[in-house]
Structure 1
């Protein structure tokens, strides 16, 4: 089905803005003045368009929800609510209008401010990222926050890993060596997740911190966008997801060494500046690092099996190449050695 057949072209967005009285009132769009929409980017779960407000000249983002990684009925409403909670940080987009009715596109709609910035560079922007994350995690979580609260975040990630890897294991052409190696890592991750630990303060965490979700502005405010999977969880989950090679190597060729990881955690603690406790942060981050690596590997294994069996195609040749690199014996051995302590 083409983009236009799905009713998701810029012309459909323009028609929504012209015909929906509620959105015109919320955005204070002048009567009988049309706007021109442009496609910004489309992913598996959202399609993003931009348009310029005819009176203010501000560029705005029009986001159409296509699905929910969290299996929520009102994904766009959940995302908008998280952004409203995060507004005091000054690091996320402001919500301008949300439509959970699915009356026009058959999908939820969110209009938010468009923010400037470039993707994060791991070589130059680590201190900026540490300060940004500290500001986000410092937002007080109200008792009635209504966000998903994982009872056992590490255990839930391992559950997800096992479910994804089962797809690869069932594939008739699964590599025996890969199955054995990843299964061993899964057992070790389960042991890590099962270890008792002190209760942690909960924060609003993104759970998805790749370099493209950062908007970096040197000398000005930098931002974090694409809040598709926020939960009330542990700050260390975000820190680990940001640092692991299964994140950094995905859109770049960067793999952070132990020294770079330590320096980032130190910069993060400095940026927190006592706004909340960071006791035990290194130990808890280490737990999340290994389990988060496993999540990246098992997702790649699942996607590769689905692609090769014709069940589901990956996005493009670049993505397929990265998946194959993650499942290469050398990369798996690196993960074993550096994040699971397998000599």
Structure 2
């Protein structure tokens, strides 16, 4: 059994089509300035016709495996976080498994909306620590453009499509906060608030449905709960914001990111921000930000990272890890 889950590789994929804010001005009562001022978003990527969540996930998985110097034969399991699966069943993870030519091991999806990647990372970590798997491919992938109401300016301008992936590998450590790998996890949900962010479709009414959101309520919960979960995960290690090299938050809204960083006493120079280019990619946003942060030269070996996210459910949580 391992006593740490260490990040071996990271990768991401963004669809080719880039949609600037100005595109929405022709169909909605909105503007580039309005969208930027309220969200920090400038552009996002949308999947092409026929391009599925599994296609995005597979591309990100291949990039992460290449970064790790591995192929699919070295992976024991795939945990894929998504709210926009290819089908009701089977899991999108099994489509990725097939796409990688992986006929061993196991694959499954995790659904916690925007908090999905934090939940998936926690699940993969638990499997590694228990000895159930040695290496796990953890993916966040979304095609949120398929569930947007293009007449609702409060939601359709906020989301984008994309995928990110990590390879987690069993490793050893001294059991201290100086170890490499995942150091602590903090997860929560509260179903009493499930009606402030949801999709109005599903098996119960036989439609795909669209995203519905009470923006002000979500904002209020987000700032309070994200800072609390990040503090809780750090407290478990006897650490504070001063020990953090990089906050890698869920990329939903720049104002939420700034408010959370402030509550952690972190300057924005120590926050990985990609929301301006990707919009809110839900479960894909944290692995996308990790991959882009590494590619930019921001995230380096030995850095202490805090990732945190909140999504429909409400579901929220954080992971502290050393790169």
Normalising to structure 2: TM-score of the pair? Answer: 0.26
Greater helix content: 1
TM-score (norm 1): 0.25
The structure richer in strand per residue is 2
Rg larger for: 1
